[in-house]
Amino acid sequence: MATFPKLEELQAARLKAQVQPKPTAPDIPLALLDKARALLRAPNLWDLIAEHAAACGIAGERVNVLLGYLGAVSRLIVRWRSSCNRLAQAKRRS
């Protein structure tokens, strides 16, 4: 006999929600992904970043805008670089 039926029901629902797989990535339209890839492959990426920042109303010197962008994405660069380092170490061991 359950002492706290509502509490046990809530706990069971929470545990069930934790077990269910979570979506790994949002659904992004292919057209938007193609535009993003084209932007990343652009030879003048730094110029485009500065132009887009100015269009969004970010004021300041171009160098400061680029440093702000680099600071915002640097945590992603560190994760990517550590993955590359692990891959290089694994290749050296084999």
What global pTM score does this model have? 0.47
- Per the CB < 8 A criterion, the answer to whether 49 and 63 are in contact is no
**28: helix, strand or coil:** coil
**What mean pLDDT is predicted for residues 6-32?**
83
pLDDT, tens digit (0-9, with 9 covering 90-100), for 31-62: 998 998 998 899 998 899 889 888 988 878 88
| CA proximity to 66, closest of 46, 44, 42, 82 | 46
Q: What is the pLDDT at residue 44?
A: 93
**Lowest mean per-residue pLDDT among 14-18, 48-52, 79-83:** 79-83
Q: How far apart, in whole angstroms, are the C-alpha atoms of residue 45 and residue 69?
A: 12
**Interhelix angle for 45-55 vs 30-41, to 10°?**
120
The answer, yes or no, to whether residue 77 has pLDDT greater than 70, is: no
